[in-house]
């Protein structure tokens, strides 16, 4: 009998992802909840399942930083050629997602922020062939402590950081960000 190690990894990762999902739901309220499915190659599936197995989150944690005027902070991610929320992968030493989000915000935009809670929680189903696993993408809401931006990304993926009143057309998850901004800030 052949043991499918990828199946085993996917099942362990799914358990870790479900634990992270339930832990975040228990600790926070008033956030927008989303579900998404992504189909990826077998190699990409393995990478994402390994990340989920370590932390519960295939893409780490992110922050939606906003000014009282409703402007949102976005960073230009050259790897995906889009404006995105600052954020990134969970380090092995990080205990929680908010710490990850704050670290990534400091690296990618050079600012600190006051965190207010969870803004959005996406439950992600990742599939490849006959394999499937589940992880989370937590996005926290925060107000900036200052507004002067300074990109210090050690990975070199982030080329710019800017405040936006009108979100650019090439903003990742633009519709969800507009929905959150309207619901949370009363800004269209």
Q: Where are the alpha helices (DSSP H) in the chain?
A: 5-27, 42-55, 97-109, 174-185
Q: How far is CA 92 from the centre of its chain?
A: 17
Domains of the chain: 5-185 (3.90.79.10)
Tokens of 40: 């990826």
Per-residue pLDDT, 95: 61
For 173-184, write each residue's pLDDT tens digit. Answer: 999 999 999 888
Tokens of 181: 């901004």
**Average pLDDT in the 31-48 region?**
96
pLDDT at 1 over 70: no
Nearest CA to 161 among 184, 144, 174, 178?
A: 144
Cα separation, 88 vs 58, whole angstroms:
9
Nearest CA to 136 among 20, 31, 11?
A: 20
pLDDT at 93 over 90: no
Angle at 156 between CA 154 and CA 162, to 5 degrees: 100
For 143-175, write each residue's pLDDT tens digit. Answer: 999 888 999 888 889 999 999 999 999 999 999
For 104-133, write each residue's pLDDT tens digit. Answer: 999 999 999 999 999 999 999 999 999 999
pLDDT at 78 over 90: yes
Q: What average pLDDT does the structure give for the chain?
A: 92
**Average pLDDT in the 34-60 region?**
96
Q: How far is CA 2 from the centre of its chain?
A: 36
| pTM (two decimals) | 0.93
More confident residue, 90 or 85: 85
Kindly tell me the burial class for residue 147, based on how many C-beta atoms sit within 10 Å of its own C-beta (0-12, 13-18, 19 or more): exposed
Nearest CA to 85 among 108, 103, 115?
A: 108
Q: Helix/strand/coil (H, E, C) string of 115-130?
A: EEEEEEEEEEEEEECC
Per-residue pLDDT, 96: 87
Per-residue pLDDT, 92: 65
Cα separation, 76 vs 149, whole angstroms:
13
Per-residue pLDDT, 2: 47
pLDDT at 3 over 60: no
């Amino acid at each position: 009998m052949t043991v499918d190690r990828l199946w085993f990894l996917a099942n362990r990762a799914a358990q870790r992802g479900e634990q992270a999902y339930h832990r975040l739901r228990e600790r926070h309220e008033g956030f927008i909840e989303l579900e998404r499915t992504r189909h990826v190659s077998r190699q990409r599936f393995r990478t994402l399942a390994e990340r989920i197995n370590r932390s519960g989150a295939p893409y780490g944690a992110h922050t939606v930083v906003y000014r009282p005027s409703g402007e949102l902070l976005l960073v230009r991610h050259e790897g995906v050629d889009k404006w995105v929320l600052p954020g990134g992968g969970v380090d092995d030493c990080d205990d929680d997602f908010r710490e990850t989000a704050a670290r990534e915000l400091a690296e990618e935009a050079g600012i600190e922020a006051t965190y207010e809670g969870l803004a959005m929680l996406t439950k992600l189903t990742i599939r490849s062939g006959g394999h499937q696993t589940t992880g989370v993408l937590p996005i926290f809401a925060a107000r900036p402590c200052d507004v002067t931006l300074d990109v210090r990304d050690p990975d070199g993926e982030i080329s710019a950081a800017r405040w936006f009143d009108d979100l650019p057309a090439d903003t990742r998850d633009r519709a969800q960000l507009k929905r959150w901004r309207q619901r949370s800030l009363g800004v269209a």
